[in-house]
Amino acid sequence: MMSLQPSKAGARLGLMIVLCFIAGSLCAQSATAEPPAVVAPAEPKLAAELLKRMDQDQAARKRLTALLQQSQGKAAAEIQLEQAEIMQTVNAVDQRNRLWLAEQIQRTGWPGKSLVGEEAAHAAWLLVQHADADPEFQERCLEQMKAAGTGEVAAIDIAYLTDRVLVARGRPQIYGTQCEEVDGRFQPRTCIEPDLLDQRRKEVGLQPIKEYLQLMEEVYHPRESQAARDK
């Protein structure tokens, strides 16, 4: 699938990474011009641990993103070796985070904004988004996120996890957040009512699908994107 990757499995994993980077930027873009008053979380230690684990999650994935961007000219065997090593680290981080988060949810319920603060609540979502080894856990977390009180969970986070769960079930997604590469270009996996996709994305604070795909091109195909802009 990926032009810079020798294996389809690696391409799919790399795609998961960039989607989560994009999700983070979208959440930042959706913030209001007038920032809300900062309220101390009810569980500051839990909040701090969530943020630490999010940093570990992203550090592992940045290595794979760098490999994807810098692999041009490298031998396929060298790329595969580096990719395998990085994926072992990523998978180990994901497993530790999934098991830890499951225990915390049993103790406190879903760690929403009032419990851990906005940034740490987003971190909790990110750990679940990467828990693909346990789809049932992702589904349970999605239901808890939906059931949380108003303002406890960002609509964008729910949208991303909703699509993740649907795609894992083999069903059409709603918001077009899960993509694949076809003939060297990114496109959303099958969506319900494609003509209304941008309307649904706007309702939850997501940018238009065209801008989203362009951002993916800039991350994964920086040389091609720059050449197109220079024309």
pLDDT at residue 32, rounded to an integer: 35
Q: Is residue 126 part of a domain?
A: yes
Answer yes or no: is 18 within a domain: yes
Single-letter amino acid code for the residue at 186: F
Strand partners, 170: none
Assigned domain for 175 exists:
yes
Q: Alpha-carbon distance 165 to 171, whole Å? A: 9
Is residue 200 in some structural domain? yes
d(CA 178, CA 187): 9
Name the residue range of residue 130's domain: 8-26+41-230
* 162 is a domain residue: yes
Residue 1 included in any domain: no
Backbone angles phi, psi at 173, to 5 degrees: -85, 175
- Distance between CA atoms of residues 16 and 178, nearest Å: 8
3 located within any domain: no
This prediction has a pTM of 0.81
**Predicted confidence pLDDT, tens digits, the chain (231 residues):** 333 333 444 444 444 444 554 444 444 444 333 455 567 889 999 999 999 999 999 999 998 888 877 777 778 888 889 889 999 999 999 999 999 999 999 999 999 999 999 999 999 999 999 999 999 999 999 999 999 999 999 999 999 999 999 999 999 999 999 999 999 899 999 999 999 999 999 999 999 999 999 998 887 776 565 555 555
Which residue type is seen at 84? A
Cα angle: 124, vertex 160, 58; to 5 degrees: 50
The length of the chain is 231
Is residue 33 domain-resident? Answer: no
Q: What is the pLDDT of residue 158?
A: 98
Strand partners, 182: 185
What is the rounded distance in angstroms from the CA atom of residue 153 to the CA atom of residue 113?
7
- Tally of domains in the chain: 1
